[in-house]
Every structure is written in C-alpha cells, then in structure tokens.
Amino acid sequence: MDFTSHYYFLPVVAFVIGYFFITIEHITKVSKTAVALLMGVFCWILQFANPEVTISENYHFLTEHLASTSQVVFFLLGALTIVEIVIAHEGFYVISKYLHIDSKRRLLWISGFVAFFLSSVLDNLTTTIVMVNLIRRLLPEGEERLIFGGAIVIAANAGGAWTPIGDVTTTMLWIGGQLSTGAIMKSLFIPSIVCCTVAFAYLSLFLKGSMPQAPNHEPVPKSMQSQAKWMFALGIGCLVTVPIFKLLTGLPPVMGIVFGLSLMWLITDLMHRNDVDKEHLRVHRIMARVDLSSTLFFLGILLCVNALQSAGILQAFASSLSQHISNTNVIAIIIGLVSAIVDNVPLVAASMGMYGLASFPTDSSFWKMIAYCAGTGGSILVVGSAAGVAFMGIEKVDFIWYMRRIGVPAFLGYFAGIGVYFLLGL
C-alpha cells in the first residue's frame, strides 16, 4: 500500500477537521453528532473510492465493522432505556434518600469508588450511565455535579481495566490469550486504584463545604415506594447479569442487554396495562426520553475509526511507533494517550496484530501495560471512551470544559498508576 497517496491522506484530514469542529461545538453551535456522522460517512466514501482496495473487500470491511459497531450502539440504547425505566419509576430516588452524606468531598470518594468496583463486574459504559444518573438525583445542576460525573468516568474506566470483563479491550486481550484472569487482576488492581485516588485527590480541591439542597422532586407516594424499589432492583439486576448471561449462553453482551430490556418491557406492560394514569410509565412512552443524539454521536465516531482501520492507517501508525521507539513500555504509554482521541479498541487490535505471542508471551509486562494504558488513557478526553461519551450525552458536557477540569486529574492519575506499576515491579 502506498500510504503517501491522497486516498490515505484525505481520511486523516477529514478526521482531524471533523474532530476540530467537535471540540468547538460550544462556539459554532453545530451539533457534534451531525459532525461525527458526516465525518464517519465521508471517511467511508474515501475508503470506497480507493482503487487499491476492491469493492468486495470494502463491503466485507464495512459489513464486519457494522456488525461490531451495531452491537455497541444497541447495547448503549438498551442500557439507556433500562436506566430511563428505573428513573421513570423513581428507582434512583429510593436509593438517594438513604445516602445521608453531608460532605461533598466524601460523596466524591464514595461515589467514585462505587463506580470503580461496579465497573469491574459490569462495564464502564453501564456503570457510568447508572452512577451519573444517581448523582443527578443528589445534586442540583451546575459545575460541581459535572465534576462528580467526570470523577465517575475516570473511576469507571480505571475499574474496567483490571478485570477481563470490565472493558472491551481487556476482554479482547483475555480472549486472545495475551492475558489470563489471575494475572491481570493481580497486576493491575493497585495501579488502577492509584489512578483513581490521585485523580480524586485533585478533584477534591474544587469541592468544599456541605452538600447543597438536592434538586426538588415530587415525593414518591408510599403506595409506589415498594414498586420503585422493585424496579430499581430489577433494572440493576438486568445490567449486572449481562456478563453472566454471556458466560452461560455464549451470546454477545448486546443479547444480554436486549433480554433484560425485553424482560422489563414485559413486566412494566403487565403492571400498568389496566391503569390509564400510568401510561407514561410504559416503555414505548419512556423510550421517547432516551438520548438518541449521544448514541448517534458514538456511531459516527466508530464509523470514522473503522474506516481508518480498514484503510490500514491505524496499523501503519502502530508500525511506525515500533520502528522509531524501541521501548515497548513507551509504546504502550503512547497508545494509552492516543486512545484519549481515537477509540482504544482498534488501537489494541492493531497492537495484538503487530506483536504476536511469540514475541510477548501470555501475561508479559507489555500486554499488562497495554491493558492498563488503553483502559485508563481514554479518560483524559471526554470522547476517548464510551463512558465519556455517555457522560457527555447525559449531562451535555462541553468538550473544552472536560479537558480543562477533568483532563488534568485524569492525566495525573494515568501516569501515577504507571509509576506504581513499575515501582512495584508488577
């Protein structure tokens, strides 16, 4: 392949220009979703126009990527809908009223570490959706609530890095034989928790005093409190059991989330079928409140990254790194930093393709570093991870605000975890 050809240069230019307009959405007032979708389609137009790749090959690439991308998109839609069902039935109100935490800093640490451990058994995306919605029940709208949300993104990504089912990249390395369950949990738990601790310590500096008055919500009638508790338990249960569903059936996680959604849909229809006053609690009405914009934004980003991957641009970048940088640990660190901009999945996939098990056997330090760096590096920018994109969609977070307020502690936590990893010889 001639990577000096404009067929390989123009997709990179399209990505850079589109990414630039995404970052200045608050200035242009043009939806980042529209830009991301246009960017994704345009990159695929350029890929299909490349004469070095046949139409049949491109169709194969596109079909393969759409299959994996649609799983992520439908998983996100299903998880968002389940959370909206819980919200509609006041499930989070039931939980929040038992959290009598007067200190903002204490709430930051508690909610952050809950997200950290929850994401290790769920995934960072679902954890972020659940925890951010819980914080929305506890704090009024404002910058402080966004700081809590940013801390949750950092915690969810770090929590997903130290178990084989917490993040899609660690799952890839686990299934591919690069890492075993015991080794990844033993080696990455301490660096991951240090990453969170350093970031939380920094963010705590911006939180002072006691908790403000929570947003005003109509009290839940006693007759509905039992129902709210059951719906919360059912919703969280449907999310938590997705990995178990995958383990038992062998089906991909998206099927588990679809099963959970269909179960909740059936139960809510049966509960409210004879009550006209509760029509708003039925799923077909609740789905109107699901944020499709953030989901479509995620689709656009993935389409663009998939096009760059199909063109071989990401693999060429990874190969260039290995040619110019002999230290594989530095390569892993750079991959983690790049994952703040580009989705970590194709970067890890490229790394797995470049470096075989013959060069780096199972549980080698290189694969552990890749798992940690790709998992936590995405927290540095809001578009660097599924958790960040979900947070952006739920709270309408501005890209520049996130980079200024959350990017710095995420960056410090990222390198603190790396330092601890090498210090302890893990």
Select the highest-mean-pLDDT range: 73-77, 98-102, 190-194, 377-381. 190-194
Tell me: pLDDT of 1 over 60.
Answer: no
Q: For residue 87, what pLDDT is reported?
A: 80
Q: For residue 224, what pLDDT is reported?
A: 67
pTM of the model: 0.73
Phi, psi for residue 103 in degrees, rounded to 5: -90, 135
Among residues 205, 264, 291, 234, the alpha carbon closest in space to that of 33 is found at 291
Q: Tens digit of pLDDT for each residue in 272-281?
A: 888 877 888 8
For residue 241, give the 3-state DSSP assignment.
Answer: coil
Select the highest-mean-pLDDT range: 69-83, 348-362, 403-417. 403-417
Tell me how long the chain is.
426
Tell me: pLDDT of 96 over 70.
Answer: no
- The DSSP call for residue 103 is B
The larger pLDDT score, comparing residue 160 to residue 138, is at 160
Tell me: pLDDT of 318 over 80.
Answer: no
Q: For residue 62, what pLDDT is reported?
A: 93
CB-based contacts of 330: which residues, under 8 Å, 6+ apart? none
**Mean pLDDT taken over the chain:** 84
Tell me: pLDDT of 216 over 60.
Answer: no
Tell me: pLDDT of 168 over 90.
Answer: no
The larger pLDDT score, comparing residue 350 to residue 299, is at 299
The larger pLDDT score, comparing residue 264 to residue 227, is at 264
Tell me: pLDDT of 262 over 90.
Answer: yes
Among residues 20, 32, 42, 115, the alpha carbon closest in space to that of 311 is found at 42
Q: If you search the block for the tokens 């990893």, which residue do you land on?
A: 421
Q: Tens digit of pLDDT for each residue in 8-50?
A: 788 888 888 988 888 777 678 888 889 989 999 999 999 999 8
Least confident among 2-11, 244-253, 370-379: 2-11
Select the highest-mean-pLDDT range: 18-22, 143-147, 200-204, 302-306. 200-204
**Cα–Cα–Cα angle for 211, 217, 221, rounded to 5 degrees:** 125
